[in-house]
Structures are given as structure tokens and as C-alpha cells.
Structure 1
């Protein structure tokens, strides 16, 4: 990834936050047919391994788990907040007109090795953890125990577990850090007015 120093984010807590808040990762693998990309909800176990471990599952009908070998190198991409920035939002544009459009965004790349778990106990734990995480904010969180045992067992038989042992994380937060304060504030105000409060907040935080 092209990563100018001013956009590099190295704080692990920020990288982990982006992964947790934007859990749908793009798993990129090299297969005999070429590059493959699968979009999967991941859960991060930050305490497992030197750079953490990512856990997910795929449908048994998805051939990706057969096309990779245990230990193959893979890349998982997590996209955070993002959005278009118009030069018209920069007050400085009115002075010289030397401003151009851009796109601001946050992205995390997790480099590691993939490991397949065709095991009911493993996938049961994966689903349980994902469920607890994403149902936590519901007024009445759904629990696996609510489903009939035979139905749940049959559903689990249709998925295969994946584990990505992360070796290296890199993060890019391109949030107008290189612009003067008034232009950053102009872009933030425009984003807020258009409802993109997540990107506006990220830009405010990087200005602190």
C-alpha cells in the first residue's frame, strides 16, 4: 500500500478499533485460478499472537477453503470511514483556486497466514462470538440457544472456519492532515452538513 508518512497510523488501539467497527473484511488469496477476494465478517482476537488473530467462517459451498493451503499468505482489508472531498469546501480555494478534489479514508491491511478449521466445535465458537458481539446492542439479543438444537447443528454443518494469524498490520488514515487548518475545518463542516459525521469526526480527531 502506498503510505506517505503523514497518513500512517501506528497506534494499535486505532487499528484494532477500525477492524472492530468495520468488521466486514475483504480476504484476498492467491489461488491456482488467480487472485480471489471474499467479503467476510471477522472477529479480532488482539491477544492471540504477536499482531492478533482474525476469525471468520465461509459457506461450505465456497470453494476458497479448498483452494488455499494451510499456512498460505493472505491479506485482509478493512475499510473504515470514507468520502469525497470537494475543493469548493476549502476556504483557501477562493484565494488562489489552487485546490483539487480528493477522497479521504481509513483502511487497515492485515497480512498473515490462513488456517482452515473444518470442525463443528470451532465454527460453533466462531458463530457464538460473532453473535455476542453484534447482538450486544439489541434490546433483546438473539442467542444460539433459541434455535432448535437439530436446526443449529444442520446450519453449522454448512460452514467452515477460517483463522488468519496476523503477522503485520498497516493502517492509512488520509484525513487532510497536510492541509491548512481553515481548509480542514471547511471540509469537516461540509461533511457534517451532508450527514457524513463519521468521516468528519475522524478528521477532527487527527487535528488534535
Structure 2
């Protein structure tokens, strides 16, 4: 991706936080004659000094499960906070008028190799981990054990596990770094006044990326 130095996010803790907070990813891979993409939640885990590992599952009928995909390089894209930025929020608008709209966003690109895992025990542990993580905020968290064992066993036969060993991580945090301080503060205020969760998340991102 086009990633000017002032937008480049190199803090691995920040990159990992995006992958954990926004787990629905776009997995892009090459086919024999084209490109394809899948949209699925992936679980990030850290292993020693490596960039980490992503784990997930897909339907057995998914072309991603073809044996010729094993060991192939894939690109996984995680989308963090994003928001439209109005030029009306820039303090310099009143003085020069030389402002235009833009879009702020955060993305993480994870490059790695694909591994298929056709193992019911692995899948059960993976699904239990996913549901425990994402149900944690509910008053009465659903657990895998809440469903009949035979029902879960049947569903497990229809999916295949995937793992991606991350070889390289790149991040982009386009958060008004190319604007003067007065415009950055104006954007933060404008976003904060919107009744939108994404806008508030981007306001916090601008403050973090610009050390405000």
C-alpha cells in the first residue's frame, strides 16, 4: 500500500492492538487466474519474538481450503477506526480557504503463509477461545458447552481451521499528521461532537498519533 513516512505506523504494540480490537479481517489470496478475498474474524496470538500468528476457520467448501493453497502467501487486512474529515473543522479554513475534505483511517497489513488444520480437537478449542473472548462483555456469556455436543460435532465437520504465520506487519495511521496543530485540534473537536463511535475512536487516534 502507499504509505508515506508520516502516516506509517511502526509501533508493534499499536499494530497488535488493532488486530485484537478489530478482528474481522479481509484475507486476500491469488488463485490460478485471478484474486479472491474472504472476510472472517481472525484471532491474533503472540509467540515469542515472532510477529505472531492468526487463527480462524472457514467453510470446508471454501476455495481457500484447496490443498494447493497450503504454504501460499496471503495478505490479511485489518481495518481500524475510520472517519470522514470535514474541512469545516480546520482553523485555517477561515484564513486561506485552501482546505479540502479527506478520510482518516487506520489499517494493518499482515503478510504470511497459510496452513490448513483439519482437526476437530483444534477446531473445538479454537471456537471455545473465540466465543469466550467475544462473549466476555455480555451479562450471560454464551459458551460452546451450551449447545448440544452432537450439534457442535456436526458443525465442526463442515469447517476447516486455518493458521497464518505472520512474516511481516505493516501499518498505516492516517490521522491528520500532515495538518498543523490548530487543525488537528479542530478535527478532534469536530469528531467528538458527532454521535458516532467510529468518530470518537478516530478522535482518540488523532490524539495518540500526534501525541496531543
User: TM over 0.5: same fold?
Assistant: yes
Structure 1 segments unaligned to the other structure (5+ residues): none
Contact map agreement 1:92 1:183 (CA 8 A) in 2:
yes
TM-score normalised by structure 2 residue count: 0.94
Q: Could you say which residue in structure 2 is the equivalent of 1:27? A: 27
CA drift at 1:207: 2.3
CA drift at 1:61: 2.3
3-state secondary structure, aligned to 1:186: helix
3-state secondary structure, aligned to 1:176: coil
Cα distance in structure 2, aligned partners of 1:97 and 1:58:
50
Q: Could you say which residue in structure 2 is the equivalent of 1:206? A: 209
CA drift at 1:68: 4.4
Q: Structure 1 residues 154 and 205 mapped into 2: Cα distance closer, same or farther (>3 Å)?
A: same
Which aligned runs of 4 or more in structure 1 are off by greater than 3 angstroms?
A: none
CA drift at 1:98: 1.2
CA drift at 1:74: 0.3
Q: Could you say which residue in structure 2 is the equivalent of 1:82? A: 82
Q: Could you say which residue in structure 2 is the equivalent of 1:10? A: 10
CA drift at 1:67: 6.5
3-state secondary structure, aligned to 2:9: coil
3-state secondary structure, aligned to 1:113: strand
3-state secondary structure, aligned to 1:164: strand
Contact map agreement 1:31 1:67 (CA 8 A) in 2:
no
TM-score normalised by structure 1 residue count: 0.96
Q: Could you say which residue in structure 1 is the equivalent of 2:42? A: 42
Contact map agreement 1:32 1:67 (CA 8 A) in 2:
no
Q: Structure 1 residues 130 and 98 mapped into 2: Cα distance closer, same or farther (>3 Å)?
A: same
Q: Could you say which residue in structure 2 is the equivalent of 1:64? A: 64
In the TM superposition, what whole-angstrom CA distance separates every residue of 1:31-78 from its partner, at most 9, and x where no partner exists? 114100000100001126711000010011222211742110000000
Greater displacement, 177-186 / 72-81: 177-186
Contact map agreement 1:29 1:68 (CA 8 A) in 2:
no
Structure 2 segments unaligned to the other structure (5+ residues): none
Contact map agreement 1:91 1:183 (CA 8 A) in 2:
yes
